A and B are shown apart, each in its own frame.
Chain A
Amino acid sequence: MIARMLRPLLITLGLTLLWQCVVWLSAAPPFILPGPLQVLDTLLQQLPLLTRHAAVTLAEILLGLLCGVLLGLASALSLITWGGLRRWLMPVLVVSQAIPVFALAPVLMLWLGYGMASKVAMATLIIYFPVTAACFDGLRRTPTGYLKLARTLGASRRAQLLQIRLPAALPAFASGLRVAASVAPIGAVVGEWVGSSTGLGYLMLNANARMQVDLMFAALLVLALIAVALYFLIDHLARRLTPWQADTLLNPDAGSAGSR
């Protein structure tokens, strides 16, 4: 237990040490690569500024995550409910992924303005496909035995979808959610780079232009913290969503539970 609490701390410490060693060995000037202490100092000094911009970015990420997941879930459910839809919607989905989101950013900016809407749209767009694909796969791969059993029990199609297919797809949905949580920040930050007046991405670009490299690194650090925290939060949520999925990685006996 103590080891589990200590491990993230040790990893952070080790990475920081590595960073400091690179600074020492390369003897890079502070405006190219500032040391961890200097960045930490800037972080504390500029905390109000960083918090203000971080709040904007966090809001964009969360809204994008929400929209992307809801949209993906709805698409997957429609695909599974209306079989004919698949032939029409699947190619559209694939094409939507073939166009790099980065290339779409200026267009979205043009349409939705420099405010939050365009960044939320970017995050949504980048999340949409992985979530849809994961959910659709999960819904499609319900063990046929479960469905046959439900039919002998006289379940309606609706009951089969809601009480058999949907819960059986939850583990797949959970992995889609994890992927979404790790790519959502990319969408938001790219949006901010292309054009904005707030957010961590804007702050980084701005600091870079003014050679405030320490501030840029501080913003990067905050962004990384947000991304990691978000991932662990979603991971925790996903585990709560699928409590029957025992962690076979942590427990070597879990796989043989059936033949105990």
Chain B
Amino acid sequence: MDIRLENASLSWQHHCVFSGLNLDLPARQWTSILGQSGVGKSSLLQLLCGIADDADVHGRVYCSDGKPLAGRVAWMAQDDLLLPWLSVLDNVLLEARLHQHGRCNAEQRERARYLLAQVGLAQLADARPAQLSGGQRQRVALARTLFQERPLVCMDEPFSALDAINRLKLQDLAAQLLADRTVLMITHDPLEALRLSDRVLVLQGRPARLSAPITPPGDAPRQVSDPAVLSLQGQLLELLAGGRA
């Protein structure tokens, strides 16, 4: 299912941040948007998720199957948003619990356990989020996102709170587990975008515009030492730095 966002506009305190913005998300591809803070990346993403209530953001969303997008997007934020009063397993099951008055059936439980095993946390299913490290918590958030089985996954700087090694590990895991989904990722980190994405867009300027997509060669996750990735990273950094001047 291709998704197209048309004529998106965002204003902040009566100033136009962007307007007339079009964004295409081709089916089963990983699209990343890079940009500096305050350029409206997160608002754009929350518009697609239907939760952009603190920003004055508008736009029309079209899906290639003609149905509305609402209810078909999974959201993963920088903050893992694990509910501290639920166990790790119940956090993964959150969607089922919210729809079934806090209960879930054996089949759903089985699937949640399987997803926890996939992110390497099978043995911590009964722990509470407070007992987990930052990396582990974000893994649980990833499992919760996967549990939803939504066609579009929107990620808002999902790994930016992690240390370098954990970040690389989680990027590999996400690339592997989200391979067949349509993904939109917002990030600050050019290397992250280049490792994972099929298409990298840069949002910058005033009012902000989306650049033409950069398509890194090869399959994700790409190696950090891949020369193509490194040279593209250099270009992207120059582009981002140029936008600030």
- A-side residues, CB < 8 A to B, are 143-146, 148-156, 159-160, 162-164, 167-168, 170, 242-246, 254, 257-260
Contacts and interface: CB of A to CB of B under 8 A. Distances in A.
Nearest to B75: A152
B97 A154 contact: no
Nearest to A145: B81
Contact of A154 (B83, B98, B129, B133): B98
A149 B84 contact: no
Given A146-B83, A149-B77, A159 B99 contact: yes
Contacts of A144: 54
Contact of A153 (B79, B94, B102, B137): B94
B99 A152 contact: no
Given A154-B99, A244-B128, A149 B81 contact: yes
Interface of B: 46, 49-51, 54, 71, 73-75, 77, 79, 81, 83-85, 94-95, 97-99, 101-102, 128-131, 133-134, 137, 148
Given A152-B75, A153-B95, A153-B148, A163 B102 contact: yes
Given A145-B79, A149-B81, 6 more contacts: A146-B83, A154-B71, A167-B85, A243-B128, A244-B84, A254-B130
A160 B130 CA distance: 22
Query: Which of B46, B54, B73, B130 has most A Cβ within 10 Å?
Result: B130
Contact of A152 (B73, B79, B85, B128): B73
A154 B130 contact: no
Contacts of B74: 152
A170 B71 contact: no
17 contacts: A145-B79, A146-B81, A148-B77, A149-B75, A149-B77, A149-B81, A149-B94, A152-B73, A152-B75, A153-B94, A155-B98, A159-B98, A160-B98, A164-B83, A168-B83, A243-B128, A254-B130
Chain A contact residues: over half helix, strand or loop, or mixed?
helix
A257 B131 contact: yes
A259 B128 CA distance: 15
Contacts of A146: 81, 83
A150 B98 contact: yes
Given A152-B73, A246-B130, A170 B137 contact: no
B51 A151 contact: yes
B139 to A, nearest CB: 14
Nearest to B77: A145
A151 B50 contact: yes
A163 B95 CA distance: 11
A152 B134 contact: no
A170 B84 CA distance: 12
A145 B94 CA distance: 14
A163 B75 contact: no
A104 B193 CA distance: 68
A122 to B, nearest CB: 35
B75 A259 contact: no
A152 B49 contact: yes
A238 B73 CA distance: 38
A237 B62 CA distance: 52
A37 B83 CA distance: 54
Contacts of A148: 46, 49, 51, 75, 77
